[in-house]
Amino acid sequence: MPHRTFERKALAVPSSRLSRLAKLGGLASSIAGNVAGEVARHLARGERPRMGDLLLTPANAMKVADELARMRGAAMKVGQLISMDAGDMLPPELAQILARLRADAHHMPWAQLKRVLTHAWGTDWRGRFETFETHPVAAASIGQVHRARTRDGRDLAIKVQYPGVRKSIDSDVGNVAALLRLAGLVPRGVDIAPMLAEARRQLHEEADYEREGRALARFGTLIEGRSEFHVPALHGDLTTPNVLAMSYVEGRPVEELATAPQAERDRVMTLLIGLLFRELFEFRLMQTDPNFANYRYAPATGRVILLDFGATRAFPEDFVDLWRRLLRAGLARDRDGIRAAALQIGFLAGGMPARLEAAMLAMFEMSLEPLRQDAPFDFGASDLAMRMRDAGLAMAEDREYFRIPPMDTLFLQRKFGGMYLLATRMRARVDLRSIVEPYL
């Protein structure tokens, strides 16, 4: 976790429910003002505008993205979830604007940070450290990371949660969902209630840094003996529900390997994809956040560093067995077997038009192309991602039948998608079939 230069400046996090509600209320008023102005302009030209066209504008999406980034916490996280899970249903320019929420957040100013640390560690906390860097090395939706060295010589990365995050989760999720509806950023007919319920559950888990610390230690144990990977060590004496202390590990962003020799890119992506299937089929425990920043690379050793276990998710055995059946049927080109497993998993639903079901099954079989070939799959030379996107857009006319899949499946899909994007960025060549077959 090396130093990074932040473009965003330090901004205090609004920590009370009232101040956060006021921010969202002001944003709703601003959007309403934009709409009123547009209505007046259209009427002056003798046009009768559609409300959807006035709400669903880049200007409104930009306002939403900027304000959620300022608020951080659950507000920013829900915006991230919407942009990732409903992104294919949004116009590309709007999806791109909301995707800004997945970049670095603003960070807390020192005065606010100091109050948080004093609350966590007591007034004499500075005496425990030889150095504590006040500028964060990273900032995200619910916390920021600082480098520090203790008096007893430990080099640490300290993740500090923004104040008020845990208390504001439930109200933030409801208020942001209403705001996104108002702004026209969620397509009509799409039931986001399961996603919002899951967002609340996930956020309460991610906001518990002691829980994340246990997941960090668990993963360290699971990959013990695998010298290709490195998980930071948990330092429990400095970890609280709002502060997570772990060993500092020097590394570069994994995507910088895009310019490395082909063999090294292939090796690293083979390791990461192998770990993904091991998490699903062997551990039944997965770090489900697909953010590239969760993987770093140590040039001196060639090791892959694994970070951020707040979104760790355990999968039930029957869920894993369903996925095993689905992939086994897919590799055997057994369309009936694929359909049966897809229905049980929740990809397909009863009452779905035959044309849509056929299109979704064809899309799933398309996604299996990398696993079906006996030779390494060349992510950099493939047009599969574009064909998948085109197939998804072709199903847009059946949008009223769109259903968000069960949450376990949604998180697994998200992780698969993030790994595919990383392999494409790295232009890696990976023998996927040889990785997955032993688990089937």
Q: Which residues are catalytic?
A: 289
What residues contact 247, with CB distance under 8 A and at least 6 apart? 154, 155, 156, 157, 232, 233, 235
What residues contact 20, with CB distance under 8 A and at least 6 apart? 14, 71, 73, 75, 164, 168, 171, 172, 175
Count of residues making up the chain: 440
Give Rg (Cα) of the chain: 23
List strands edge to edge, sheet with 229-230.
229-230, 303-306, 295-298, 252-253
What angle do the packed helices 317-331 and 335-345 form, to 10 degrees? 160
Report the run of H or E that residue 276 belongs to, with start and end. Answer: helix 262-278
Is the distance from CB of 283 to CB of 306 less than 8 angstroms? Answer: no
Rounded Cα distance, 86 and 1, in Å: 31
How many CB atoms are located within 10 Å of the residue 176 CB? 27
Which residue is it, tokens 């705001």? 179
